[in-house]
Structure 1
Amino acid sequence: MPCALCGDIIPAEVARCPACGAWARRRDFRAVGVAVFMLLGFNAFIALGSGISLLRLARPLRGETHDSYDPATTGGALAPYTDVFTVSAIMAVVTGVLYLIWLWRAYEQSPGPHRHHRAWVLFGWVCPIVNLWLPPRMVYEVWVNSGRYRTAERQAAGLVIAAWWVCALIGLVLGRAFTHGSVETLADARFDVHVGVAAAAFQAIAATLCMATVFQITRLQCLPMARSAQTPGA
């Protein structure tokens, strides 16, 4: 198989890359990071496409009047977008499972110190109330502990993670509101479309910011290994 760091072919019976010396365990971590990054990009692309399509659908509604408005036609036009949001939620669950595997490994490899036990990497996402603030906190700790950061850089990382988490929560709430929206009246239909556009936008932004965190943490945790492997005597 090719090495994830240098691209050299590694025999199956060898634990380290003969060219750069990277361990197979670190190669596997990088491969998982790349997979999560790509899935997040796919989710962002789907959300962005849904938002743009909903914007196009909103234009005809502007010219509608209460007399010419047809709820059945509008409901039929919005039904595929409800299915898209449902599929996006399923994809988010699949991505989330792989993301937790990646985060578990990243937490293990980060030098620390950590304020919370490693088990909270998993339990922090399912415990009510706690899952509103603990997951981004743990991602922040893994990020800043994986490299040497100044105070300003730590604050920048915190802003990225906070923006990601806030956008993810808002996108989740708005997406659920869109799928349960009403199109009985023209005002309801316009409002529902605007909610769908906002939900898609927040979801796309959240996926993009999450891609940035995955990229940075994976790069920080893999780069030192590559450098140490190229150092004589390492």
Structure 2
Amino acid sequence: MPCALCGDIIPAEVARCPACGAWARRRDFRAVGVAVFMLLGFNAFVALGSGISLLRLAHPLRGETHDGYSATVTGDALSPYADVFTISAIMAVVTGALYLTWLWRAYRQSPGPHRHRRAWVLLGWFCPVVNLWLPPRMVYEVWVNSGRYRTAERQAAGLVVAAWWACSLLGLVLGRAFTHGSVETLADARFDVHVGVAAAAFQALAATLCMATVFQITRLQCLPVSSSAQTPGNA
């Protein structure tokens, strides 16, 4: 089969590409990383489109008066967006399942050291309380262990991971608040629309930052042997 990095043919009986030295087993890992990257991009696109549409809906509400306001009409206008957030949550579950498959492989291929056992790559997402802080820590460790980073570069990676996780949590909380919001009064409707816009923005930003982590980790772990000895700053 052809190498995913250089395109040279890898014989079935060898473990590395004869041209670039990449591990043959990492061809599938790179393919999974590309699939996760594309799904995250689609999620970001849907969230961004929802936020823009909600902003356009917020404009007429500014000119509304309490006397002419209709809660029924506003509720009917906002109900499709609640469905979009529900569909986005389902898409996030599908993307998350593939993401965990990718992260499991990335953890195994990263040289370490690791503070937690490999089982926590999966358990950390489902254990209450633990899932509030362990998943981003696992992703950070896999990222920095996949390459040779200076202190400043480690801090930059930590900021990206922290921003991704914070946006993910905020997007989740605000999205749920939007779907359960009230439009009984004009003030409630305006507030609910603003919450929906914020939720969409945070979800789009979270997906974009997650794309950056997937791209960097996949790139580092698929580097040829001759390049893996270089630091990211000098490569």
* Structure 1: tracts of 5 or more residues without a match: 229-234
After superposition, residues 12-91 of structure 1 pair within 5 angstroms as 17=17, 19-91=19-91
The code of the aligned residue for 1:193 comes to V
Identity of aligned residues (%): 89
Give, in whole Å, the separation in 1 of the partners of 2:48 and 2:210.
15
After superposition, residues 128-147 of structure 1 pair within 5 angstroms as 128-147=128-147
Q: Give the superposition deviation at 1:11.
A: 7.5
RMSD: 1.8
Q: Give the superposition deviation at 1:7.
A: 3.4
Q: Give the superposition deviation at 1:224.
A: 3.5
Q: Give the superposition deviation at 1:17.
A: 4.6
Q: Give the superposition deviation at 1:23.
A: 3.3
After superposition, residues 1-234 of structure 1 pair within 5 angstroms as 2-8=2-8, 17=17, 19-225=19-225, 227=227
Match of 1:232 in 2: none
Larger displacement relative to structure 2 (12-21 or 66-75) = 12-21
TM-score normalised per structure 2: 0.92
Secondary structure class of the residue paired with 2:170: helix
Secondary structure class of the residue paired with 1:50: helix
Q: Give the superposition deviation at 1:220.
A: 0.5
- After superposition, give the CA deviation of every residue in 1:100-152 in whole Å (9 maximum; x if it has no partner): 00000000000000000000000000000000000000100000000011111
- Say if 2:6 and 2:20, in contact at 8 Å, map to a contact too: yes
The code of the aligned residue for 1:104 comes to W
TM-score normalised per structure 1: 0.92
- Say if 2:20 and 2:225, in contact at 8 Å, map to a contact too: no
Q: Give the superposition deviation at 1:93.
A: 0.4
